[in-house]
A and B are shown apart, each in its own frame.
Chain A
Amino acid sequence: EIVLTQSPGTLSLSPGARATLSCRASQSVSSIYLAWYQQKPGQAPRLLIYGASSRATGIPDRFSGSGSGTDFTLTISRLEPEDFAVYYCQHYGSSPLWTFGQGTKVEIK
């Protein structure tokens, strides 16, 4: 089983700041199987990034993903008020087939 560990647990930043979120896999994974989601309170998750670095439809270009092997990063270049949310990374292919990290909360400082 591949375990995804996200850090930090909480990121306190001001609007306009740059956010860097980490997702570390317990063993090397193919980047094609790595995705990021955003979840706001009371809402369903929304696909942001797939294949580690491709933006999903309608996602602003301030969101970018990178990484390979065991270390992946979601970067928000300049935080907008609507970006304060919880972010999850997700991997496909181990057992269970779809696994999620525990999440990183981006909160307003």
Chain B
Amino acid sequence: EVQLVESGGGLVQPGGSLRLSCAASGFTVSVYYMSWVRQAPGKGLEWVSGFYSGGNTNYADSVKGRLTISRDNSKNTLYLQMNSLRAEDTAVYYCARGTSSYYYFDSWGQGTLVTVSS
């Protein structure tokens, strides 16, 4: 069974840092495109960053230079290092697996809440 479990969210002050983790089971993360998608409270979905099976990464313009995605194949885990956090980064962060075509996301974790506030 495919499972994604996020962790690492919490309350952080503006300008602070946080690292999110997404532990995968039931499949190998290095074979798929893996992504982070966020949802601000009461709002819609926003793609944040992704990690291709070949190692390339991409980011939404709103987070470029502040958030860094990485992957540990030995732990079958995806990470999101979040620096210089702003109030507008407050959201539930979901880890999602891309389909083989990577056009869509066919498996999602339950999400982890990041709150940026003083």
Residue ID in chain B nearest A93 by CB atoms: B103
Segment of A16-24, A43-51, A68-76, A77-85 engaged in the interface with chain B: A43-51
Binary per-residue interface labels of chain B (38-80) against chain A in the complex, 1 for a CB within 8 Å, 0 otherwise = 0000001111001000000010110000000000000000000
- Contact across chains for B47 and A47 when beta carbons are under 8 A apart: no
Whether the Cβ atoms of B103 and A35 lie closer than 8 Å is yes
- Are B58 and A88 in contact, with the CB atoms below 8 A? no
Taking a contact as CB atoms under 8 Å apart, the answer to whether B103 and A33 are in contact is yes
B61 contacts A100, C-beta separation under 8 Å: no
* Given A44-B110, A97-B47, A100-B47, A92:B104 Cβ within 8 A: yes
**Contact present for B108 and A45 (CB under 8 Å):** yes
- Interface: A14 (CB within 8 A): no
Q: Which residues of the other chain, A, contact B110 by a CB distance below 8 angstroms?
A: 43-44
Chain A proximity of B97: nearest CB distance (Å): 10
Chain B residues with Cβ below 8 Å from A93 are 103
Residues of A within 8 A of B106 (CB): 47, 56-57
Given contacts A96-B61, A98-B105, 14 further A-B contacts (CB under 8 A): A32-B103, A37-B45, A44-B94, A47-B106, A50-B103, A50-B104, A57-B106, A88-B45, A92-B103, A93-B103, A97-B58, A100-B44, A102-B44, A103-B45
A-B contact pairs, 17 of them (CB 8 A): A33-B103, A37-B45, A43-B110, A45-B94, A45-B108, A47-B99, A56-B106, A90-B104, A90-B105, A92-B102, A93-B103, A95-B61, A96-B60, A98-B35, A98-B37, A98-B105, A102-B44
Give residues in A with beta carbon < 8 Å to B.
32-33, 35, 37, 43-47, 50, 56-57, 88, 90, 92-93, 95-103
Interface on B for A, CB 8 Å cutoff?
35, 37, 44-47, 50, 58, 60-61, 94, 99, 102-106, 108-111
